[in-house]
């Protein structure tokens, strides 16, 4: 067991208890009458709307997040995802609708009476307190005894790999370290739901990718429900158990990353997540992902059952691991095709301006607006 | 290089007269002429022995401290109200708070004087305090408001998110973050009050503050050595809090911390 794992276990004794039912609660003679325990939702949002003057920020959202889930709200800026998070935290009150945390109606409770904690985008660390004081603030407010507090702060510091930095001030830390402090300060309280508002937005790419993995690990270890807001589709796909794609204050699609990516419910989702080619053939609109398109070499035959269309390569974009081709189809649309760079050096460039044939399997396309039907034609 | 020479010249221009007063305070002769014939500390004893000077000092301290305390309470409250709430006419109110500092003192003075006599309020220490409070509020208000605006708004939300109610969040977050601004505002307010002449002229009754006493003596052309001693003292009492206030708000310590991001 690593230090961090031990820390996580220590940090959340209530999570440990959840698996094994407390035997003292069940009388020994009781028959097995108890219904199979259903996973209770950590968070339930029903018909929530919120507008500021004329601007509708959240336009009717229904959502259920299960206990222990890593749930992501993904959307462009202005899609209402942050407002939704603030509604859950209690910083805003909905115009209509209902918010439940662990089965309890919290719609009209202030933030301090809700069992949620937030990791803020700007971290919001208290500048006049040390790192340890920051992390221990929630416990202090709840009146935890000093010894308990110090022990748990120590554990939390180790969990986020900041052991030994407890005495520092936030302004003596790097961006990544502040991020960890903000996380530890929230996680230590073992909230019903942990809310994260674009927590990695201020970090550089490499650090962000490291933190993505680390966040996910910590979430698994402590078993707390995470609701994570981001506009970064890659982040959402990488980390989430399930994700909701938001646009204009509404949820366009909810599902596991694979489903959302492979079977986008709307054109918006298809366009927002990854690169999507939307084609209209025989009155059917469907999506085909760039990596599912094959560019046939001269003289190469398409496999049986594949759809083949002709076009001309307009642009070749080299992106290291792969090359992206913008192809103008003879039927008018522009498609993006992606190929791994397995050819000899510079071969990709030769395609520029050339006519090509593109082939794909209809199985791998996805018809828009028909979630259950997989085949394009 | 030329620029440096200019800066030095300007500083000399500004501060030579003030330095001169310090020298004259140690002048053995009671006639102000340069070079001074010798150095002595005898005027300090004479000044301290002067009952009028001591009475004026007491009035100055009483007026300054009282005005500062009132300004601290009212100015901080006003800053909070303006910062936290948005209402129609907020900018106008904000301007009205700052106006007394920008208005010529003589206008404030005459207006207050007219108001007091119209209402049959006799001029006293109390009226001096009221007069000083008008501009003392401004510096406290400005300092506190500037600090509040520099403080991250999400800090209070974070505190409440962690379980602190409004009072706890204020006690643990807001108060420590603005404390130095409040102290600095109070010091500036006291410094302003301590060397104020014009408003005091119109609001003081029979009492005089130190600056008023100085003014009176210079007009009559008597006791000039004592005047130099008192002026030196007033300068010191005024400069010290200003320097401390500048350090509190400008550099070092907690004052800079709100900018941490």
Angle at A79 between CA A74 and CA A80, to 5 degrees: 95
- Residue pair A131/A170 in contact by the 8 Å Cβ criterion: yes
Nearest CA in chain B to A124: B155
- Residue pair A331/A282 in contact by the 8 Å Cβ criterion: no
Using alpha carbons, list the distances in angstroms from residue B13 to A345, B73, B227, B239, B244.
74, 39, 22, 18, 24
Angle at A56 between CA A51 and CA A58, to 5 degrees: 80
Angle at B61 between CA B58 and CA B63, to 5 degrees: 105
Residue B243 is predicted with a pLDDT of 86
- Residue pair A256/A230 in contact by the 8 Å Cβ criterion: no
Angle at B43 between CA B38 and CA B48, to 5 degrees: 165
CATH code for the domain of B221 = 1.10.3720.10
Please count the structural domains in chain B.
2
Residue A8 is predicted with a pLDDT of 54
Residue A257 is predicted with a pLDDT of 95
Residue A19 is predicted with a pLDDT of 39
SS3 A284: strand
Q: What is the mean pLDDT of chain B?
A: 85
Helices (H), chain A: 3-11, 13-19, 81-89, 131-141, 146-159, 175-187, 205-222, 233-239, 257-262, 267-272
How far apart are the C-alpha atoms of A165 and A157, rounded to whole Å? 8
Whether residues B129 and B27 fall in one domain: no
Partner residue opposite A141 with nearest CB, options B152, B155, B162: B162
Which residues in chain B have their CB less than 8 angstroms from residue A91's CB? 157, 161
Which residues in chain B have their CB less than 8 angstroms from residue A82's CB? none
Are B162 and A137 in contact (CB < 8 Å)?
Answer: yes
| Confidence class for position A27, pLDDT limits 50, 70, 90 | very low
Whether residues B230 and B203 fall in one domain: yes
Residue A375 is predicted with a pLDDT of 37
Domain A41-262: CATH class, spelled out: alpha beta
Residue A67 is predicted with a pLDDT of 93
Q: Enter the tokens of residue A109.
A: 């409770």
Which residues in chain A have their CB less than 8 angstroms from residue B257's CB? 127-128, 169, 171
Whether residues B246 and B136 fall in one domain: yes
Q: Does A44 touch chain B (CB under 8 A)?
A: no
Residue B259 is predicted with a pLDDT of 32
How far apart are the C-alpha atoms of B190 and B196, rounded to whole Å? 10
How far apart are the C-alpha atoms of A285 and A294, rounded to whole Å? 20
Whether residues B32 and B70 fall in one domain: no
| Bridge pairing between strands A55-66 and A41-52 | antiparallel
Q: Does A142 touch chain B (CB under 8 A)?
A: yes
The kind and range of the H/E element at A328 are strand A322-329
Q: Does A138 touch chain B (CB under 8 A)?
A: yes
- Residue pair A61/A84 in contact by the 8 Å Cβ criterion: yes
Alpha-carbon torsion (B50, B51, B57, B61), positive or negative = positive
Query: Which residue out of B153, B162, B175, B256 would a mutagenesis test of the A interface target, given it has the greatest number of A Cβ atoms within 10 Å?
Result: B162
Whether residues B248 and B196 fall in one domain: yes
- Residue pair B58/B208 in contact by the 8 Å Cβ criterion: no
Q: Enter the tokens of residue B179.
A: 């404390």
Which residues in chain A have their CB less than 8 angstroms from residue B150's CB? none
Phi, psi of A116 (to 5 degrees): -130, 155
Which residues in chain A have their CB less than 8 angstroms from residue B173's CB? 126
SS3 B224: helix
Query: Structural domain of residue B58, as residue ranges?
Result: 51-259
Q: Enter the tokens of residue B14.
A: 């500004």
How far apart are the C-alpha atoms of A115 and A194, rounded to whole Å? 9
- Assess if residue B46 is contained within a domain: no
Whether residues B100 and B17 fall in one domain: no
Q: In what order do the strands lie in the sheet with A307-318?
A: A294-296, A355-360, A307-318, A322-329, A334-340
Q: Enter the tokens of residue A95.
A: 């115009």
Nearest CA in chain A to B171: A141
How far apart are the C-alpha atoms of A303 and A359, rounded to whole Å? 9
Question: Tens digits of per-residue pLDDT, B95-145?
Answer: 888 888 788 889 989 999 999 999 888 888 999 999 999 999 999 999 999
Q: Which residues contact A346 (CB under 8 A, 6 or more apart)?
A: none
Whether residues B149 and B214 fall in one domain: yes
Give the closest-approach CA distance of B249 to chain A in angstroms.
15
Partner residue opposite A122 with nearest CB, options B154, B177, B258: B154
Q: Enter the tokens of residue B32.
A: 């102000």
Q: Enter the tokens of residue B228.
A: 């130099």
SS3 B180: helix
Residue A371 is predicted with a pLDDT of 45
Q: Enter the tokens of residue B237.
A: 């009492």
Partner residue opposite A170 with nearest CB, options B160, B161, B260: B260
- Residue pair B245/B252 in contact by the 8 Å Cβ criterion: no
Q: Does A111 touch chain B (CB under 8 A)?
A: yes
Which residues in chain B have their CB less than 8 angstroms from residue A169's CB? 257, 260
Please return the burial class of A36, using the count of CB atoms within 10 Å of its CB with bins 0-12, 13-18 and 19+.
exposed
SS3 A320: coil
Are A124 and B261 in contact (CB < 8 Å)?
Answer: no
Using alpha carbons, list the distances in angstroms from residue A120 to A32, A136, B154.
45, 17, 8
How far apart are the C-alpha atoms of A228 and B117, rounded to whole Å? 67
Which residues in chain A have their CB less than 8 angstroms from residue B159's CB? 126, 137
What does the DSSP 8-state code read for residue B119? T
| Confidence class for position A251, pLDDT limits 50, 70, 90 | very high
| Confidence class for position A18, pLDDT limits 50, 70, 90 | very low
Partner residue opposite A110 with nearest CB, options B160, B176, B257: B160
- Residue pair A270/A276 in contact by the 8 Å Cβ criterion: yes
- Residue pair A209/A216 in contact by the 8 Å Cβ criterion: no
Nearest CA in chain B to A188: B162
Please report, rounded to a whole number, the percentage of residues in chain A having pLDDT higher than 90: 53
Residues of chain B with pLDDT under 70: 250-261
**For A20-28, what is the mean pLDDT?**
43
Are B162 and A89 in contact (CB < 8 Å)?
Answer: no
Q: What are the strands, taking DSSP E only, across A54-115? A: 55-66, 70-74, 96-101, 104-105
Nearest CA in chain B to A179: B261
Whether residues B148 and B183 fall in one domain: yes
Chain B interface residues (partner A, CB cutoff 8 A): 152, 154-155, 157-165, 168, 172-173, 176-177, 254, 257-258, 260-261
- Assess if residue B45 is contained within a domain: no
The kind and range of the H/E element at B136 are helix B125-150
Are B164 and A141 in contact (CB < 8 Å)?
Answer: yes
Whether residues B90 and B175 fall in one domain: yes
Please report, rounded to a whole number, the percentage of residues in chain A having pLDDT higher than 70: 85
Q: Enter the tokens of residue A227.
A: 């609701």
Whether residues B200 and B250 fall in one domain: yes
Question: Tens digits of per-residue pLDDT, A281-328?
Answer: 888 888 888 888 888 877 788 888 888 899 999 988 888 888 888 999
Q: Enter the tokens of residue A40.
A: 């209770």
Please report, for chain A, the start and end positions of each structural domain, with discontinuous segments joined by +.
41-262, 275-367
Whether residues B29 and B80 fall in one domain: no
Nearest CA in chain B to A127: B257
Q: Does A19 touch chain B (CB under 8 A)?
A: no
Partner residue opposite A112 with nearest CB, options B160, B172, B254: B160
Nearest CA in chain B to A185: B162
Tally of CA atoms within 13 A in the half-sphere of A141 that contains its CB = 25
* pLDDT value at A198 more than 70: yes
Question: Tens digits of per-residue pLDDT, A40-92?
Answer: 789 999 999 999 989 999 999 999 999 999 999 999 998 999 999 999 999 99
Are A128 and B177 in contact (CB < 8 Å)?
Answer: yes
- Assess if residue B99 is contained within a domain: yes
Nearest CA in chain B to A90: B161
Whether residues B8 and B82 fall in one domain: no
Give the closest-approach CA distance of B154 to chain A in angstroms.
6
Residue A373 is predicted with a pLDDT of 38
Question: Tens digits of per-residue pLDDT, A119-149?
Answer: 999 999 999 999 999 999 999 999 999 999 9
Question: Tens digits of per-residue pLDDT, A205-248?
Answer: 888 888 899 899 999 999 999 999 999 998 999 999 999 999 99
Give the closest-approach CA distance of A113 to chain B in angstroms.
7
ipTM of model over 0.95: no
- Assess if residue B230 is contained within a domain: yes
Residue A128 is predicted with a pLDDT of 93
Q: Does domain A275-367 have CATH number 3.30.930.10?
A: no
- Assess if residue B167 is contained within a domain: yes
Are B165 and A112 in contact (CB < 8 Å)?
Answer: yes
* pLDDT value at A348 more than 80: no
Q: Enter the tokens of residue B97.
A: 């708070």
Packing angle of the helix pair B175-194, B51-84 (nearest 10 deg): 140
């Amino acid at each position: 067991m690593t230090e961090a794992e031990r820390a996580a276990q220590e940090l959340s004794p209530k999570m440990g208890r959840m698996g094994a039912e407390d035997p003292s609660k069940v009388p020994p003679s009781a028959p097995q009458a108890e219904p199979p325990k259903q996973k209770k939702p950590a968070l339930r949002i029903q018909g929530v709307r919120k507008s500021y003057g004329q601007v509708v920020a959240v336009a009717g959202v229904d959502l259920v997040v299960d206990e222990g889930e890593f749930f992501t709200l993904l959307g462009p800026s202005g899609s209402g995802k942050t407002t939704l998070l603030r509604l859950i935290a209690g910083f805003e009150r909905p115009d209509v609708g209902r918010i439940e945390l662990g089965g309890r109606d919290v719609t009209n409770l202030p933030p301090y009476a809700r069992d949620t904690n937030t990791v803020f985008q700007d971290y919001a660390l208290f500048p006049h307190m040390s790192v340890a004081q920051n992390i221990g603030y929630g416990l202090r407010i709840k009146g935890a005894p000093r010894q308990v507090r110090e022990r748990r702060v120590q554990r939390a510091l180790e969990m986020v790999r900041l052991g030994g930095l407890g005495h520092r001030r936030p302004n003596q830390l790097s961006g990544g370290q502040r991020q960890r402090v903000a996380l530890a300060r929230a996680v230590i309280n073992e909230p019903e739901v942990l809310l994260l508002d674009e927590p990695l937005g201020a970090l550089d790419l490499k650090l962000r990718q490291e933190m993505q993995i680390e966040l996910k690990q910590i979430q698994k270890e402590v078993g707390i429900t995470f609701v994570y807001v981001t506009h970064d589709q890659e982040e959402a796909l990488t980390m989430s158990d399930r994700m909701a794609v938001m646009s204009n204050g509404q949820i366009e699609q909810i599902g596991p990353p694979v489903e959302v990516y492979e079977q986008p419910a709307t054109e918006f989702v298809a366009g927002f997540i990854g690169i999507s080619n939307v084609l209209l053939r025989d009155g059917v609109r469907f999506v085909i992902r760039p990596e599912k398109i094959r560019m046939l070499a001269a003289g190469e035959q398409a496999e049986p059952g594949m759809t083949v269309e002709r076009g001309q390569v307009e642009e070749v974009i080299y992106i290291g691991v792969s090359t992206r081709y913008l192809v103008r189809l003879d039927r008018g649309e522009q498609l993006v095709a992606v190929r791994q760079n397995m050819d000899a050096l510079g071969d990709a460039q030769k395609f520029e301006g050339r006519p090509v044939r593109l082939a794909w399997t209809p199985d791998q396309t996805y018809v828009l607006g028909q979630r259950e039907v997989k085949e394009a034609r | 290089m030329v620029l440096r020479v200019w800066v030095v010249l300007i500083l000399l221009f500004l501060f030579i007269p003030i330095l001169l007063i310090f020298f004259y305070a140690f002048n053995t002769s009671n006639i102000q002429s340069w070079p001074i014939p010798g150095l002595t500390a005898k005027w300090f004893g004479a000044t301290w022995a002067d009952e009028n000077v001591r009475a004026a000092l007491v009035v100055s301290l009483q007026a300054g401290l009282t005005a500062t305390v009132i300004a601290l309470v009212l100015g901080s409250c006003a800053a909070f109200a303006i910062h936290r709430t948005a209402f129609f006419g907020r900018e106008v109110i904000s301007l009205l708070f700052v106006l007394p500092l920008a208005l010529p003192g003589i206008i404030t003075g005459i207006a207050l004087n007219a108001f007091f006599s119209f209402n049959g309020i006799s001029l006293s220490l109390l009226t001096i305090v009221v007069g000083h409070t008008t501009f003392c509020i401004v510096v406290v208000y400005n300092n506190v408001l500037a600090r509040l605006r520099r403080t991250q708004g999400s800090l209070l939300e974070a505190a409440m998110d962690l379980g602190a109610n409004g009072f706890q969040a204020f006690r643990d977050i807001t108060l420590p973050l603005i404390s130095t601004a409040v102290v600095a505002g109070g010091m500036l307010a006291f410094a302003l009050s301590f060397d104020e002449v014009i408003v005091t002229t119109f609001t003081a009754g029979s009492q005089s503050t130190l600056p008023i006493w100085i003014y009176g003596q210079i007009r009559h052309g008597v006791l000039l050595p004592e005047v130099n001693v008192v002026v030196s003292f007033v300068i010191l009492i005024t400069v010290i809090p200003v320097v401390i206030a500048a350090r509190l708000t400008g550099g070092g310590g907690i004052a800079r911390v709100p900018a941490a991001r």
